[in-house]
Structure 1
Amino acid sequence: MDTDTVRAQAADEAVALRREQRGWYFYDWACSVYSTSVLTVFLGPYLTSVARSAADADGFVHPLGVPVRAGSFFAYSVSLSVILAVLVMPLVGSAADRSGRKKPLLGAAAYTGAAATTGMFFLDGDRYLLGGLLLIVANAAQSVAMMLYNSYLPQIAPPEERDAVSSRGWAFGYAAGSLVLVADLVLYSAHGSFGLSETAAVRVCLAAAGLWWGAFTLVPLRRLRDRRARAVAGATAPGLRQLAATVRDMRRHPLTLAFLLAYLVYNDGIQTVISQASVYGSQELGLGQSTLIVAVLLVQVLAVGGALAMGRLARTYGAQRTVLGSLVAWTVTLGAGYFLPAGAPLGFFVLAGAIGLVLGGSQALSRSLFSHLVPPGKEAEYFSAYEMSDRGMSWLGPLLFGITYQLTGSYRSAIISLVTFFAIGFVLLARVPVRRAVSEAGNPVPEKI
């Protein structure tokens, strides 16, 4: 084959990869609206109100005959969705790697989640069981789809581009979340002008997130390509057995496992700050619901710029150093939050802005860094473990937050206790020799890592 032909083929492949990357960004654009509008803002309070309308005189509902406090039903439903995802993700990840057919599996998971979310339009009256079922299906499907989506990163971006590509994906997601959240707030705040009741407006916002998710998923499904599977010994096992097999395989790559442990720790801190910041704002600082919603929107908007800016920093300093810097920034932010005066929304907005600037970059660069540590041919399988670290293992942070509040009676003490996760995560990540980890995983080592 002559040199001109080789160059032409390389140019064609580069064009094809750019097309795939642009399509890949759009899955973040499609699904992030679910995380923002459904999980973060509307579904928790609304499903709780539906459960309370179905509760008995003592405030209990009885799904399958089990007495459950109506106020706990949403949290239990989320927990069940995590259990389901933990069972399904390793199985789907292994099947994707063995067959090489990630795209049909991604489409199936995405449209299952989108359909369940759209079905939340019918969640009214006392249909709390319907709401719980739809939440469990949608949340588990989102986890499975994100695992498959993330596993495309090593295949669509060469090592030197992954930080930037991953950061753009997160930026697309936060941009979409911000755009739809603005539209939701307009509809919710002026629901009477649209001829809707308050509950009807919430149901429209929930269903719209599902329709958005489904519509924009068409873009990555058209542009992403399936690759020929590498030969892998063994048969696909049931979920928990497959997870155990994945962990055993990861023990052959201890540095990859060491990074995953560090990520599990500091990501637990990140997820706890996200989930408990509104509790801190309302209960400790005495801020109203409208202030908290604006703060969520501020986080979404600034996370776009933060993800892109940290992606650029990674080009100069490497992803590991940049993530380490972000963990220092998280620690400083929590320290500042401890001293916020009550009844001062401006200070809370500044805190939300600081979180937004480091949130997207921390997550995007962690994803790209892990992609270098995955052995070729096991992308989906390893990203199932990564996704479970992201979504299924973040329980220690809320536990520490709750115990600290129980012992001290102070949300300020509870929020500052989360510094522990960023400090330990910093030490664990700093101890990982990333360049050697990439090499031992069988991947080319980028110039900056």
Structure 2
Amino acid sequence: MNARPSQRISTAIAKNDRKTINAWAMYDWANSAYALVIVSAIFPAYYNTITSADGTSTISLFGLSMENTAAYSINLGIAFGLIALISPLLSSISDYSSNHRSYMQFFCYLGAGGSMLLFFFTDYHLVYLGLGGMLLATVGYSGSIVFYNSYLPVIATEDRQDKVSARGYAFGYIGATTLLIINLVFILNQQALGVTDDTLFPRLSFLLTGLWWLGFAQIPFRVLPRGLYTAKPVGNRFTQGYKKLKKVWQQLQSQPRLKTFLFSFFFYIMGVQTVMFMASSFGEKEIHLGLTQLIVTVLLLEYLGIGGAFLFAWISKKTSNITALMISVGIWIMICAGSYFIITPIHFYIAAFFIGIVMGGIQSLSRSTFAKMIPKTGSNAAYFSFYDVCEKTAMMFGLVMFGYLDNLTGSMRNSIIALAIWFTIGLVLLFLVDKARPARQTIPS
């Protein structure tokens, strides 16, 4: 993110300082536990089990009868919709007040509090508490990331930003898998420890996640500077962020290739993120996998995701970014087609293997492809803000539509057909991007 002419980066912030960089990366260590332990591994299966305790997967929510997985999916979609709506406002206000750390702290505490609230979700009568805690945790996680990311270009010079970003990712991976393994050890030894309550260790994992997030976050909060700029930005603090997004949209009208890529990204990332958020729910509800099996599968996905990112980076180097993305999206379509027919755990593990391979690659390639395609401008941050809002909006539509179809048809398998359609639209648009190769434009900021 480049500082605007009216905003000067504080000279008190030392770039490439090892202590500051490590402290910044520790926030990834802290909050990635939520993304892995709660979102991907334990809570979806626990939620399905608790909300099916009366012998049916249908729950009553605000007077409506809904499939439990549909309510879960729609609830997540609403959370990401809220973030897509308010993130430009949050960025603008924090820039204006130069108090990024306090906003980051607020959303961190909101997310950690939401995670710990899930400890009290003990039966299906408390479904509002379970869904509410999940919504708060998701908003807190996504909201804090907005401010966490804003520190990167301020604490590291441009030539070091890729390396520093990778350090944050590595810290997050190590921290999250460490906590997940700790929780797995307790769950596997429930009988040996003499615990008869099957809900205790899963609920403790939610409490531990919140405490882990809250505790390790104090490291960056003690070291990172309060604000990033010495001067206030130009414009209204409440509308400036939205005006920038509008300006980017207007500029995209003269950049058909980039505009087509973003439409393609919207459709295929809708499918990618929906699969990542709902895979555990599908495994528990449709394949009847146990919690331990799901945790092991999620760990496998994490390891494969790292290898897949390097694999598709190599493919893009040998071909092109768009070609590598087309290959990845093509594999996603085949995964969706095959997943409709999954009936055994072995089938699920095979699908998980291929998901792991393409999961990391498509996300890293998408961002780097976008970075290469944006015009040379003095406000790259506005383009990346637009990209982030586009992704969050896609996640909202994807999860809400998945939940709606699940509730309409009574089976998550039918929702997979929608995923295949979204990926197919994304692939067709990528093909159009590959055919159009205009020169990169220079647009005034």
TM-score (norm 2): 0.76
The separation in 1 between residues aligned to 2:173 and 2:224, in whole angstroms, is 21
1:94 aligned to which of 92, 95, 109: 92
- Correspondences of 1:415-430 after superposition (within 5 Å): 416-424=420-428, 426-427=430-431, 430=434
Give the C-alpha shift of residue 35 in structure 1: 1.5
Give the C-alpha shift of residue 114 in structure 1: 1.1
1:119/1:275 Cα in 2 relative to 1: closer, same or farther (>3 Å)?
A: closer
Contact 1:99 1:229 in 2 (8 A): no
1:144 counterpart letter in structure 2: G
Give the C-alpha shift of residue 206 in structure 1: 0.7
**Which range moves more in the overlay, 121-130 or 273-282?**
273-282
1:122/1:363 Cα in 2 relative to 1: closer, same or farther (>3 Å)?
A: same
- SS of equivalent residue, structure 1 residue 149: helix
1:131/1:345 Cα in 2 relative to 1: closer, same or farther (>3 Å)?
A: closer
**Which range moves more in the overlay, 212-221 or 343-352?**
343-352
The separation in 1 between residues aligned to 2:65 and 2:118, in whole angstroms, is 21
The separation in 2 between residues aligned to 1:97 and 1:418, in whole angstroms, is 36
The separation in 1 between residues aligned to 2:120 and 2:96, in whole angstroms, is 39
**Which range moves more in the overlay, 398-407 or 156-165?**
398-407
- SS of equivalent residue, structure 1 residue 61: strand
1:266 counterpart letter in structure 2: Y
1:139/1:168 Cα in 2 relative to 1: closer, same or farther (>3 Å)?
A: same
**Aligned equivalent of 1:445:** none
**Aligned equivalent of 2:43:** 43
- SS of equivalent residue, structure 1 residue 325: helix
**Which range moves more in the overlay, 368-377 or 112-121?**
368-377
Contact 1:401 1:417 in 2 (8 A): no
The separation in 2 between residues aligned to 1:428 and 1:169, in whole angstroms, is 35
1:34 aligns with 2:34: yes
Structure 2 gaps of 5+ residues are 1-10
1:179 aligns with 2:178: yes
1:409/1:232 Cα in 2 relative to 1: closer, same or farther (>3 Å)?
A: closer
- SS of equivalent residue, structure 2 residue 395: coil
The separation in 2 between residues aligned to 1:209 and 1:40, in whole angstroms, is 13
**Aligned equivalent of 2:234:** 233
1:269 aligned to which of 251, 268, 271: 271
2:66 counterpart letter in structure 1: R
1:27 counterpart letter in structure 2: Y
2:353 counterpart letter in structure 1: G
User: Sequence identity, in percent?
Assistant: 24
Give the C-alpha shift of residue 32 in structure 1: 1.6
**Aligned equivalent of 1:22:** 22
1:440 aligned to which of 413, 429, 443: 443
- SS of equivalent residue, structure 2 residue 440: helix
1:353/1:81 Cα in 2 relative to 1: closer, same or farther (>3 Å)?
A: same
**Aligned equivalent of 1:304:** 306
1:391/1:269 Cα in 2 relative to 1: closer, same or farther (>3 Å)?
A: same
The separation in 1 between residues aligned to 2:301 and 2:243, in whole angstroms, is 38
Give the C-alpha shift of residue 317 in structure 1: 7.1
Contact 2:115 2:206 in 1 (8 A): yes
1:262/1:73 Cα in 2 relative to 1: closer, same or farther (>3 Å)?
A: closer
1:120 aligns with 2:118: yes
**Which range moves more in the overlay, 381-390 or 262-271?**
381-390
**Aligned equivalent of 2:5:** none
**Which range moves more in the overlay, 213-222 or 415-424?**
415-424
Residues 45-82 of structure 1 show CA distances to partners (whole Å, capped at 9, x for unaligned) of 434555566x999965354xx44537244334324323
Residues 70-113 of structure 1 show CA distances to partners (whole Å, capped at 9, x for unaligned) of 72443343243234323432221111222333222112211221
The separation in 2 between residues aligned to 1:76 and 1:25, in whole angstroms, is 31
1:147 aligns with 2:146: yes
1:222/1:363 Cα in 2 relative to 1: closer, same or farther (>3 Å)?
A: farther
**Which range moves more in the overlay, 195-204 or 126-135?**
126-135
The separation in 2 between residues aligned to 1:352 and 1:274, in whole angstroms, is 10
Q: CA RMSD in A?
A: 4.3
Contact 2:283 2:348 in 1 (8 A): yes
2:152 counterpart letter in structure 1: L
Give the C-alpha shift of residue 266 in structure 1: 2.6
1:359 aligns with 2:345: no
Give the number of equivalent residue pairs.
419
Q: Which structure is higher in RCO with an 8 Å CA cutoff and minimum separation 6?
A: 2
